[in-house]
Amino acid sequence: MSEKIEILINEEQLDKRISEIAEQINKEFVNEDITLICVLKGGIMFMTDIAKKLKQKVEFEFIDVSSYSGTVSSGKLTINKDLETSIEGKNVILLEDIVDTGRTLSYLIEYLKEKKPATLKLCTLLDKPSRRIVDVNADYIGFTIPDAFIVGYGLDYDQKYRNLPYIGILHLDNE
């Protein structure tokens, strides 16, 4: 089987859009501290780049929830790593690489609401509304993308391609 990647969003487009999202956040949270919660592993590059553009004091938190095996979402959610500090009373932005079916984020949003943050916003780099099963609305969206398997800039296929500086569509060809 051969794997080919077609560039969907290049580095320049990523940087420009991330700067725009950071500016939105900067305007909304003037002089307010923010806790960024990164959904591992896919959101790590997005979190790093957006955090560098924020003007507020920023705390980092990480949560790991899995629902994928290879290229298929199993639908069963497992928390592999939970938050290490309390988010009660804090301004929280949940950073996700991609909103696909919405199951994972719907679950995470309800889970985090139970921890009583002052505010809870959802920021996703990629939105794939054509695959939505559970209604999830992001407060900040980088790009709306087609129904294709996406890799790069933190997103993987069997743990490969996360390090690509762009976002691409993975084409699998049987040889």
Q: Which residue stretches of 5-160 are H helix?
A: 11-28, 44-51, 103-113
Judge whether 100 counts as a catalytic residue.
yes
Choice among 49, 97, 100, 156 that is catalytic: 100
Please give the radius of gyration of the chain, using alpha carbons only, rounded to the nearest integer. Answer: 16
Q: CA-CA distance, 85 to 18, in Å (whole number)?
A: 26
Q: Work out whether the CA dihedral 16, 22, 24, 27 comes out positive or negative.
A: negative
Strand order in the sheet with 72-81: 72-81, 58-69, 34-40, 91-99, 119-127, 140-144
> What residues are labeled active site?
100
